[in-house]
A and B are shown apart, each in its own frame.
Chain A
Amino acid sequence: NAGVMQNPRHLVRRRGQEARLRCSPMKGHSHVYWYRQLPEEGLKFMVYLQKENIIDESGMPKERFSAEFPKEGPSILRIQQVVRGDSAAYFCASSSDHTHPMAQHFGDGTRLSIL
């Protein structure tokens, strides 16, 4: 499968725990975007990364959330000390070049549930 791979597909955490969501972009893609989908809502942009760089994190909550895209390995979205309101579907998308209007290709998402 050459698509965007996200894991885990489902993640259950208790309040106060940490959640780590992983995303491997499509082969040949070096641009990664994270979006959050709350129930009954569309996707909201969180962060845009290229290899080893955060380009735009304007959609990220100021606290507890962080993202990285290391030189080797998948992109990681990390949520510390999770709260009930973090329950959502988190989608990763990738593209080959943000300047050319290529479509962003999405993974199947990680559904995060906070107990």
Chain B
Amino acid sequence: AQSVAQPEDQVNVAEGNPLTVKCTYSVSGNPYLFWYVQYPNRGLQFLLKYITGDNLVKGSYGFEAEFNKSQTSFHLKKPSALVSDSALYFCAVRDNSDYKLSFGAGTTVTVRA
């Protein structure tokens, strides 16, 4: 069984400040971890993924995420948030022997000018 928890429903930050969206996961095998962003009435856009290797993963639009195996976390970060980063963010996990993605409930990010 695999699952994802995003403990914060909402994250509010001022433009220019660092942004962190938290994610913890549970899988039986080695995890493949993903972050997606969803804008209103749109599908999910892929941001980044962790498969293996360096624990710090860099993705699209200046986002990065850090894989922490001991804490089973994969927090999304951006050093300096933009108003245009306001959206719904989903963390997802799949076991390395599976193909189904399990998603968290999502975190709404609001970046104020």
Contact = CB atoms under 8 A, between A and B. Distances in A.
* Chain B binds chain A: yes
A85 to B, nearest CB: 19
Nearest to A9: B41
Contacts of A45: 100-102
Interface residues of A, number: 27
A93 B99 CA distance: 12
16 contacts: A6-B43, A33-B99, A42-B103, A43-B44, A43-B90, A43-B103, A45-B101, A48-B99, A56-B100, A101-B51, A101-B96, A103-B34, A104-B46, A106-B45, A106-B46, A107-B43
Given A42-B103, A43-B103, A108 B41 contact: yes
Interface residues of B, number: 24
Q: Is the interface of B mostly helix, strand, loop or mixed?
A: strand
Contacts of A41: 105-106
Contacts of B49: 101, 103
A113 to B, nearest CB: 13
Nearest to A55: B99
Contacts of A111: 41
A108 B43 contact: yes
A49 B96 CA distance: 19
